[in-house]
């Protein structure tokens, strides 16, 4: 994309408009057309999540249910509003929020639930929506790993009250640095979201309605991400094709790999494999590293285990599967630009370990 990115950079510099201009508007328009809802640019996925919590009125005295297996920002977002993140376990097969664990964690203080579409596969939104409907909970989707994913043909980010995307450079849809997007189901929410990410401003730049964040999206990132949006379906197909190679090669081995859940096709931000024991997982990670293959552990330390949470009010209701699985799981490379030779090298290295 180098040539196109350089061209877009030149355009932005020539325009002299770096924030709040036509390229951010274009990204919001295109995302709304492709996915639905009412998109608002933000500076990161973290900013989008915190903004969503604030916009939905979450604060002190509230509890917000989050999955044990996620990036730390999912827990930080409610915590920073003064609410209590309540950590619950994941479904061991899909690695997304377990509906039964959510049900068990609900109290009169529960205000919202944040399903994470982990590794690129949507959480079980039918079950979670039913629970949210029955208990009057808001639903904030954490779509940071799932741009372009679908749930029974509806786009991730349009299934709850607000969808939150990260478009950090390392994500499936990622600009040049940090970037994010909110998608509101209700258009009435848009003015407040815009105020919260732009120091309280909406319209007149000299009027600040609320103490908002410096959390807006830049024009250059917006331009690059809009370009990438047209390539995303093809990238997802390439990721799925690599996953098919891995799945076929690993059939019969004593390891667990991701699969499509009904109506929830995987978009493979990450391709994880879970080994029978921690020792075997460590050994495989070492062998892959020796073979110059980038291995990742997503995530070696869960949010509630982080030092930050020793000072933050939170509750852990259940996390057994998340703790066990994350210790036995490694992620293999699955970038769309991998060559067949590189894919075969990964496969041979994994097979040689068995």
Ligand X SMILES: *Cc1c(COP(=O)(O)O)cnc(C)c1O
Euclidean distance between CA atoms 302 and 68, whole angstroms? 7
Please, which residue, 198 or 202, has the CB nearer to ligand X?
A: 198
Please, which residue, 145 or 158, has the CB nearer to ligand X?
A: 145
Least distance to ligand X, CB of residue 242, Å: 20
Least distance to ligand X, CB of residue 78, Å: 13
Least distance to ligand X, CB of residue 119, Å: 9
171, 279, 281, 328, 343 from 350: Cα distances, Å? 25, 15, 11, 15, 11
Please, which residue, 296 or 342, has the CB nearer to ligand X?
A: 296
Q: Which residues pair with 66 in a beta bridge?
A: 87
Residue with tokens 């940090």: 178
Q: How far is CA 337 from the centre of its chain?
A: 21
Peptide bond into 252 cis (omega under 30): no
Please, which residue, 161 or 250, has the CB nearer to ligand X?
A: 161
Least distance to ligand X, CB of residue 283, Å: 27
Please, which residue, 165 or 202, has the CB nearer to ligand X?
A: 165
Question: Which helix (H) or strand (E) is 140 found in, with range?
Answer: strand 138-142
Euclidean distance between CA atoms 350 and 326, whole angstroms? 18
Least distance to ligand X, CB of residue 138, Å: 17
Is residue 160 a contact partner of residue 204, using CB atoms and an 8 Å limit? no
Q: Is 141 helix (H, G, I), strand (E, B) or coil?
A: strand
- Output b/e per residue, 269-303; b: 16+ Cβ within 10 A: bbbbbbbeeeebbeebbeebeeeebebeebbeebb
| Cβ-proximal residue to ligand X, closest one | 45
Please, which residue, 73 or 326, has the CB nearer to ligand X?
A: 73
Is residue 302 a contact partner of residue 308, using CB atoms and an 8 Å limit? no
Least distance to ligand X, CB of residue 221, Å: 11
Residue with tokens 């997982």: 281
Least distance to ligand X, CB of residue 309, Å: 15
Binding stretches for ligand X (CB under 6 A): 44-46, 70-71, 73-74, 116, 142, 144-145, 166, 168, 178, 180
Please, which residue, 166 or 256, has the CB nearer to ligand X?
A: 166
Largest distance between two CA atoms of the chain: 65
């Amino acid at each position: 994309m180098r040539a196109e990115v350089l061209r877009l950079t030149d355009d932005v510099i020539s325009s002299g408009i770096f924030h709040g201009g036509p390229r951010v508007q274009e990204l919001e328009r295109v995302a709304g057309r492709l996915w639905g809802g009412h998109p608002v640019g933000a500076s990161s996925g973290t900013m989008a999540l915190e903004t969503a919590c604030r916009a939905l009125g979450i604060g002190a005295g509230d509890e917000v249910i989050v999955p044990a297996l996620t990036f730390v920002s999912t827990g930080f977002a409610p915590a920073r509003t003064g609410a209590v993140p309540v950590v619950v376990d994941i479904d061991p097969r899909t690695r997304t929020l377990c509906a039964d664990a959510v049900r068990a964690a609900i109290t009169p203080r529960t205000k919202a639930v944040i399903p994470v579409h982990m590794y690129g596969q949507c959480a079980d939104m039918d079950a979670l929506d039913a629970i949210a409907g029955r208990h009057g909970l808001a639903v904030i989707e954490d779509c940071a790993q799932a741009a372009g994913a679908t749930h029974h043909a509806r786009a991730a980010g349009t299934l709850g009250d607000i969808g939150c995307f990260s478009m950090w450079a390392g994500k499936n849809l990622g600009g040049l640095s940090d970037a994010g997007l909110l998608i509101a189901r209700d258009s009435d929410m848009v003015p407040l979201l815009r105020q919260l990410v732009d120091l309280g401003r909406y319209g007149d730049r000299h009027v600040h309605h609320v103490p908002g964040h410096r959390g807006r999206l830049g024009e250059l990132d917006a331009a690059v991400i809009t370009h990438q949006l047209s390539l995303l379906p093809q990238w997802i197909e390439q990721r799925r094709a690599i996953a098919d190679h891995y799945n076929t090669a690993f059939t019969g081995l004593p390891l667990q790999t991701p699969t499509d859940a009904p109506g929830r096709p995987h978009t493979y931000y990450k391709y994880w494999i879970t080994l029978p024991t921690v020792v075997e997982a460590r050994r495989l990670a070492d062998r892959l590293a020796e073979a110059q293959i980038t291995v990742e552990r997503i995530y070696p330390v869960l949010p509630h285990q982080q030092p930050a949470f020793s000072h933050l009010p939170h509750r852990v209701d259940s996390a057994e599967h998340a703790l066990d699985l994350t210790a036995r799981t490694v992620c293999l490379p699955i970038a769309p630009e991998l060559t067949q030779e590189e894919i075969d090298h990964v496969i041979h290295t994994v097979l040689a370990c068995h």
